Amino acid sequence: MSTNPNPRYELRCRECQTRWGNQPISFCQSCFAPLEVAYDWERIRREVSKDEIARRPGNLWRYRELLPLPEHYDASSPAGFTPLLKAAQLGDALRSRSLYIKNDAVCFPTLSFKDRVVAVALTQARSFGFEVVSCSSTGNLANAVAAQAARAGFRACIFIPADLEPAKVLGTQVYGAQIIRIDGNYDQVNRLCSQIADKHRWGFVNVNLRPYYAEGSKTVGYEIAEQLGWRLPDNVVVPMAGGSLITKIYKAFQELVGLGFVTEKRVKFFGAQATGCSPISVAVKAGRHEIEPQKPATIARSLAIGNPADGYYAAKAILGSGGWAEDSIDPEIVDGMTLLAETEGVFTETAGGVTVAAARKLYAQGRILPDETTVLCITGNGLKTTDALAGRFEAVEPIAPKLAAFEQHLEREFAGTAAAGKGVA
Amino acid sequence: MSVTVSIPSAFRRHTEGADKYSCAAGDLNGLLDSLAARFPELKPHLRDEQGQVRRFLNIYVNDEDIRFLGKDYRFKEGDEVTLVPSIAGG
């Protein structure tokens, strides 16, 4: 049990509402539906104000009262409070006049939004007395668990599908984590981890610690609101793998309204998937919440979850908000990555390409209007998925280290462009 | 013909602690009926009031999600069925 004798929170079944205190379980022991964290909002309202939050250091611990943290925890992880960028040039390209990028491509310490969820999960792993932390991962989570476990002094054992990008494998091993490659896709890895967690006393951040872990994603929503000057946007566009992030941003906005930190507003939630793995997008487009699983085939491997744990809740949140979901094929995803890089100087991984590609469609369809304040959630860094861009750019031939060679090159490559202008020094 | 079901720990308080169950069911419906008949307390956790398999109950045959095999999938001798109460991950 948690060491916190009087927590502000406890686990509650999302379906039958049974309360389960605080323990490392992910589903209701009565009806077997997923659990989530419920809070004592009366107490939280007395204990924290938005002015107090605004005075705190720029990381996710600034929202500590709104997260399921034990009484004593290590707040040394630098995760969270990533930039919210006004994206004027991308806005021009998409025909938006009020577009923002929530840039978790630069979330610390491992350059994805998974640093947020892991930071929260490890506080509970410590509190429950786990020595080994683990996860099933499509890559970003593996990196985040490995790095933060190293710093916090846990042993880490990470389960990944065998075909993961090399940068994500290396970016896990470098921290001393043990990797177990599974000859199967993510859904098979995930199922295996559920079976292992049922038998071994390990702290699987996204299995038995999942209700706590997932709450870390709420900080994306808190930050968007705070960085907009404590107001909610009109729309958010969120990539979907397991579907948790979009539901947690939704929850975060509801909580901020409940606390009186922001004015109530109907925010539309838009989900983005790769066409090659689009179980939630397909459900939304059919106007239903029930998810039909798929076998993923996409370059967006960080989103390649064919049986999304929160797919049902994600579809429900999207449809209930008046939003929509879109999916994009691999070339559109790569175009999304390069468009974001060329317009805003943000190099995102394939999942970010999925988000930009979806946004492009949503503006074109008129589902998002130009004057509405819209935030695109960019959740990971492009340096981890450079293989997706293989062959995208021509190899650059070297030239001799001579001024004459450069002048020739300039004439040849930039003839007729501004860059070819002489005597401008 | 015999099919073996692995029962997760959360279900075992309804199965007198049994972690495996074997029966001669020919398909998923037969299997759920057999489980429900043998362990009546488990019955409401397998199907909802309308008789549909519970939304959060995941069923695998060998390594495959049964939804990919089709609801009419006929079990083969030695098939191993795994129940996962609520899928996690992501």
Predicted pLDDT at A423: 55
Q: What is the CATH code for A84-110+217-389?
A: 3.40.50.1100
Please, which residues bridge with residue A316 across strands?
Answer: none
- Judged by CB atoms closer than 8 Å, whether chains meet at A194 and B84 is answered as yes
Give yes or no for B51 touching A (CB within 8 A). no
**Predicted confidence (pLDDT) at residue A420 exceeds the cutoff of 70:** no
Hey, CA dihedral for A364, A369, A370, A373, is it positive or negative? negative
Within 9-28 of B, beta carbons closer than 8 Å to A belong to 9-10
Residues in B closer than 8 angstroms to A204, CB to CB, are 88
A34: nearest CA partner in chain B: B86
Amino acid of residue B56: F
- Residue B80 covered by a domain: yes
Domain CATH code at residue B33: 3.10.20.30
Predicted pLDDT at A1: 46
- Judged by CB atoms closer than 8 Å, whether chains meet at B88 and A310 is answered as no
Across the interface, of A32, A136, A186, the residue whose CB is closest to B57 is A32
Across the interface, of B63, B86, B89, the residue whose CB is closest to A305 is B89
pLDDT tens per residue, range A135-162:
999 999 999 999 999 999 999 999 999 9
Residues in A closer than 8 angstroms to B9, CB to CB, are 198-199
- CB distance A343 to A312 below 8 Å: no
pLDDT (mean) for A307-313: 97
pLDDT band with cut points at 50, 70 and 90 for residue A4: low
pLDDT (mean) for A11-37: 95
Predicted pLDDT at A2: 45
**Predicted confidence (pLDDT) at residue A45 exceeds the cutoff of 60:** yes
**Predicted confidence (pLDDT) at residue A122 exceeds the cutoff of 90:** yes
pLDDT tens per residue, range A289-302:
999 999 999 999 99
pLDDT (mean) for A334-363: 98
The number of folded domains in chain B is 1
Predicted pLDDT at A41: 97
Predicted pLDDT at A419: 63
- Judged by CB atoms closer than 8 Å, whether chains meet at B68 and A293 is answered as yes
Q: Vertex A348, ends A150 and A350: CA angle to 5°? A: 95
- Residue B89 covered by a domain: no
Give start-end residues of each CATH 3.40.50.1100 domain in chain A.
Answer: 9-77+114-213, 84-110+217-389
Residues in A closer than 8 angstroms to B10, CB to CB, are 27, 29, 32, 198
Candidates A130, A6, A148; CA nearest to A75 is A148
By residue range, what is the domain housing residue B11? 3-84
Looking at per-residue confidence, does A270 or A415 come out higher?
A270
- Judged by CB atoms closer than 8 Å, whether chains meet at A26 and B88 is answered as yes
- Residue B34 covered by a domain: yes
A217: nearest CA partner in chain B: B90
A294: nearest CA partner in chain B: B68
Cβ burial of A16 (10 Å; 0-12, 13-18, 19+) is exposed
pLDDT tens per residue, range B48-90:
999 999 999 999 999 899 999 997 899 999 999 999 988 899 9
CA distances for A379 relative to A25, A220, A352, A413, B32, angstroms: 27, 10, 6, 36, 41
Residues in B closer than 8 angstroms to A310, CB to CB, are 90
**Alpha carbon A135 to chain centroid distance?**
16
Q: What is the CATH code for A9-77+114-213?
A: 3.40.50.1100
Across the interface, of B10, B56, B82, the residue whose CB is closest to A34 is B56
pLDDT tens per residue, range A178-190:
999 999 999 999 9
Predicted pLDDT at A191: 95
Across the interface, of B60, B67, B89, the residue whose CB is closest to A207 is B89
- Judged by CB atoms closer than 8 Å, whether chains meet at B88 and A31 is answered as no
